[in-house]
Amino acid sequence: SPCAFSTAAQQRSTGDECGPEDPSEEPKHPLSDCALEHKAIKLEEQVRDLTERYRKALADSENVRRRTQKFVEDAKLFGIQSFCRDLVEVADILEKTAESAAGQAEPSDPTPTLKKIYEGLSLIEAKLQSVFAKHGLQKMNPVGGRYDPYDHEIICHVPAEGMQPGTVALVTQDGYKLHGRTIRHALVGVAVEAQE
């Protein structure tokens, strides 16, 4: 290595025998060249290290920005989740009341008051469902579909008469999803094979 011989070169006398007019005899500084070389190598390593750290920091900040943006978007979409849970209870009551009024209305009744109440309740129910749809709230209709533990809660098993075992045979309480996320599970009866 050039550094091993540098100390011997430095020990040479730079006395009067070396004159400025003889360029071949000018003192060389291999130690300083070697030191500069080492310093350059160290600086290049530091530049690589700092460049790598900079790239990692950029990637981390981009990931934080994306996560924060996703969090804000989710907050906008699902911020009304608890409000929707409360509203679907009102929708259930309205639906049951409309069904009850429809069952009580008789076509031969001379006063069509109950029929008008039923029609009014039906209009309110339709409007409520359109408002739900506008805000991304959807009623699930699982009858005939496969049982899904993420969307349904089993409350009973029913004999599979003309249905595949494992499919939803009846719904006792409607389930709802808000932008694809289940906010209330549907209470269902699942078809099973009859045991003899």
SS (H, E, C) 165-194: CCEEEEEEECCEEECCEEEECEEEEEEECC
Report the candidate in 129, 94, 99 with the shortest Cα–Cα distance to residue 114: 99
Stated pTM of the model: 0.62
Question: Which is nearest to 90 in space by CA: 125, 118, 123, 114?
Answer: 125
Report pLDDT digits (tens) over 68-109: 999 998 888 888 888 999 999 999 999 998 888 877 766 666
Over residues 108-165, the pLDDT tens digits come to 665 678 788 888 898 999 999 999 999 999 999 899 899 999 999 999 998 878 888 8
In the chain the domains, ranked by start, together with CATH numbers, are 35-135 (3.90.20), 136-195 (2.30.22.10)
DSSP classification of residue 139 = E
Closest CA to 168 of 150, 177, 178, 156: 156
